[in-house]
Amino acid sequence: MPSIAKKTASSPRPPRQARIRKEAQIRAEAERQFAQYGFEGSSLEMIAAGLGLSRHNLLYYYPSKDGLYRAVLEDVLAEWLARMDGIVAGTDPEAAMRDYVAAKLRFSRERPAGSQVFAREVMAGAPRFRDAIEARVLPALNADVKTFERWAREGRIASLDFRHLMFSLWASTQAYADLGAQFAILLGKPALDGDDFKAAEDVILKQVLAALQA
């Protein structure tokens, strides 16, 4: 029988904190550059230079641009899905929608580059991330739709095409990341501020609640 010491020695060791921090820094810089230049316009050399690293050093953490790009998208999707949980967990439709709209706009404000990278990928037809969208976003969407359908059967909201309701919600909230620079220009300011996001939240929530009114 193998000894406990041998079993422990053969077990994979968890990554060290220093490596985890470095990988997070690399993904953050890659996210910024992928958002600005797209996948094709970015390079590992550019990303490494933005961090003061050599290309060889960066390759130690992420051996390919495709792998780094995928890691960025996985990061963005994980946070986005975490903010989608509110509808399924909610018991009151109005409160659930209020929390959901606020969470989606907060994501757009706090992580605009991530939203832009994801939008670029989807607008290109999701050539490098279709499998993840089908495997992870679709089940989350279906769960939300089932919740809406239950609320509709209970007479608490109107019955409509809830998938398209969600598509409209995603588009309107993500626009404040993807088109934030244009909105700021049209508002005559250098960047959107907290008041703009609060105004957007109020308008979007009123539109959604009006559509759901039984």
Which CATH class for the 73-212 domain?
Answer: mainly alpha
Is pLDDT above 60 for 29? yes
Q: How far apart are CA 99 and CA 83, in angstroms?
A: 9
Is pLDDT above 80 for 6? no
Domain residue ranges of the chain, discontinuous segments joined by +: 73-212
pLDDT at 10: 55
Q: How far apart are CA 144 and CA 166, in angstroms?
A: 9
The pTM (predicted TM-score) of the whole model is 0.85
149-185: pLDDT as tens digits: 999 999 999 999 999 999 999 999 999 999 999 999 9
Q: Model confidence at 1, in pLDDT bands (50, 70, 90)?
A: very low
- Minimal CA–CA distance to 67: which of 46, 41, 39, 35? 39
- Minimal CA–CA distance to 26: which of 77, 74, 72? 72
71-125: pLDDT as tens digits: 999 999 999 888 777 788 778 999 999 999 999 999 999 999 999 999 999 999 9
**H helices present in the chain, as ranges:** 4-10, 17-41, 44-51, 55-61, 65-82, 85-89, 93-110, 112-123, 130-132, 138-153, 162-178, 180-186, 194-212
39-70: pLDDT as tens digits: 999 999 999 999 999 999 999 999 999 999 99
